[in-house]
């Protein structure tokens, strides 16, 4: 952990309009992957609009590695089925964090930056980086790829540790 740059805390809020992988519904859960780290939410049974509201924390040592989100349908007697995936671009959040290190004068609720959906990101709508209660967070609606439908809503927090050892 010599090169630990920070912690990425991701609150996976909900899924919307996910695909059917069982008879009438699915049993979805999410996996976050960064390098060899793999974190998992709980399974929500029989729901295409699941609410997880669960926080997962990744250790970030290398900013060039992609943060990946994958959704699966849990099955008891067979292999879990894929329900789509997306990349989470953390660079706009890190840039905003760098620009607003001394943020004591910013009013609560200020939007620091807006990120528009584009070919390069998986956003389904505008994403806002917001200053609130002493921290910076970014909300995201991610359109799942490799699947017919589905959006995952989440919120990112960055906890900077890069300067932790420098007085
Ligand atoms: Ca299932």
User: What token pair was written down for 58?
Assistant: 């990744």
Tell me, in angstroms, the distance from the centre of ligand 1 to residue 20's CA: 9
The answer to whether residues 33 and 164 touch, using CB atoms and an 8 Å cutoff, is no
Tell me, in angstroms, the distance from the centre of ligand 1 to residue 80's CA: 7
d(CA 54, CA 21): 23
Tell me, in angstroms, the distance from the centre of ligand 1 to residue 22's CA: 5
User: What token pair was written down for 143?
Assistant: 């359109």
**Cβ atoms within 10 Å, residue 6:** 21
The answer to whether residues 154 and 13 touch, using CB atoms and an 8 Å cutoff, is yes
3-state secondary structure (DSSP) of residue 141: strand
| pLDDT classification of 153: cutoffs 50, 70, 90 | very high
Find where tokens 């007085």 sit: 167
Q: What angle do CA 158, 13, 140 make, to 5 degrees?
A: 55
CATH code for the domain defined by 6-90+139-160? 2.60.40.150
Sign of the alpha-carbon dihedral angle for 10, 11, 17, 22: positive
Q: Please state the pTM of the whole predicted model.
A: 0.93
The terminus-to-terminus CA distance of the chain in angstroms comes to: 19
Tens of pLDDT, residue by residue over 127-138, are 999 998 778 999
Tens of pLDDT, residue by residue over 51-79, are 999 999 999 999 999 999 999 999 999 99
Q: What residues form DSSP beta bridges with 33?
A: 38, 68
Residues with Cβ within 5 Å of ion ligand 1?
22, 27, 73, 75
Tens of pLDDT, residue by residue over 75-112, are 999 999 999 999 999 999 999 988 887 667 888 899 99
């Amino acid at each position: 952990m010599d090169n630990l740059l920070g912690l990425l805390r991701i609150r996976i809020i909900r899924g919307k309009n996910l695909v059917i992988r069982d008879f009438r519904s699915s049993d979805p859960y999410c996996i976050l992957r960064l390098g060899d780290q793999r974190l998992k939410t709980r399974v929500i049974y029989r729901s295409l609009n699941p609410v997880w509201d669960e926080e997962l924390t990744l250790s970030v040592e290398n900013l060039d590695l992609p943060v990946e989100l994958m959704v699966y349908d849990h099955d008891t007697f067979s292999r879990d089925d894929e329900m789509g995936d997306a990349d989470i671009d953390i660079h706009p959040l890190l840039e905003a964090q760098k620009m607003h290190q001394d943020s004591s004068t910013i009013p609560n609720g200020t939007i620091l930056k807006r990120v528009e959906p584009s070919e390069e990101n998986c956003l389904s709508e505008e994403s806002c980086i917001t200053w609130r209660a002493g921290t910076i967070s970014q909300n995201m609606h991610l359109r799942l790829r490799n699947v017919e439908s589905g959006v995952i809503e989440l919120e990112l927090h960055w906890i900077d540790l890069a300067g932790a050892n420098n007085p």
